């Protein structure tokens, strides 16, 4: 598994979202590298980890990341990466002392007892699209991620630029990721979570409803904050605000 190590200071692990790679965090890395040593992961099948044979499933993926980053480093996960980070904090409490969830939810799809998720059909449609129109499907997902953002055009451009900057993820890996987004439900781990947590939402995020993150933060006993005017990737459009909130949390996570 590929991990870029950048910066100086205490460690922080960064985990990207579906179909992306660690390079997408460049604006955030630029603002944190002077005070944090960043361990920027390419998840299995993504970026420079395209040849990694670890399944894109919670436990194998978490174990592989845990072996590749320093024990005792806080984990920050964006979108799908948040599921991995949350699973790590729940199953390895001595190794993950603090957790930051960036536009990420313990459950992405809505249900009878979880009204703030998206329809499961969204992920199924993207999975079907991968088989018939691979690049078009990824382009549609990027548009969904940016939808609602005050700077949607800039966000779409940045995400598109990063999409194939390191590799072209295999359709099978992307399908596994969509299955994970559709099926994962980690709400049950929240009440027992030992790590202090920050749940940082984009006010205009149309993929992860800020209200879902607020509810998750309550269940976890964590802090909930919102980046105003931001969509699903606030570290691209509001990097200063995201960096400031992350550092404030990491300096005093309790």
Active site annotation includes 105: no
d(CA 6, CA 186): 30
Q: Is 197 a residue of the active site? A: no
Q: Are 41 and 68 in contact (CB under 8 A)?
A: yes
Q: Which of 4, 42, 176, 205 is catalytic?
A: 205
Active-site position among 4, 16, 39, 79: 79
Q: Which of 2, 39, 232, 238 is catalytic?
A: 232
Active site residue 112: no
Q: Which sequence positions are flagged as catalytic?
A: 79, 205, 232
């Amino acid at each position: 598994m590929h991990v870029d190590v950048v910066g100086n200071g205490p460690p922080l692990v960064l985990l990207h979202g579906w179909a992306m790679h660690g390079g997408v965090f460049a604006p955030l890395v630029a603002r944190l590298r002077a005070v944090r040593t960043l361990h920027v992961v390419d998840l299995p099948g993504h970026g420079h980890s395209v040849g990694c044979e670890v399944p894109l499933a919670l436990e194998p993926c978490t174990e592989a990341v845990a072996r590749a980053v320093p024990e005792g480093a806080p984990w920050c996960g964006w979108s799908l990466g948040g599921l991995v980070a949350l699973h790590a904090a729940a199953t390895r409490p001595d190794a993950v002392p603090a957790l930051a969830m960036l536009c990420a939810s313990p459950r992405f799809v809505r249900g009878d007892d979880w009204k703030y998720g998206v329809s499961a059909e969204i992920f199924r449609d993207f999975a079907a699209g991968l088989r018939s129109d691979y690049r078009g499907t990824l382009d549609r997902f990027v548009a969904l991620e940016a939808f609602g953002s005050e700077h949607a055009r800039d966000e779409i451009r940045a995400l598109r630029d990063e999409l194939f900057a390191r590799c072209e993820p295999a359709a099978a890996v992307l399908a596994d990721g969509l299955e994970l987004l559709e099926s994962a439900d980690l709400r049950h781990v929240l009440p027992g979570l030992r790590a202090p947590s920050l749940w940082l939402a984009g006010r205009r995020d149309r993929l992860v409803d800020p209200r879902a993150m607020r509810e998750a933060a309550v269940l976890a006993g964590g802090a909930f904050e919102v980046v105003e005017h931001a969509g699903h990737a606030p570290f691209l459009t509001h990097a200063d605000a995201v960096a400031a909130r992350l550092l404030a949390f990491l300096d005093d996570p309790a």
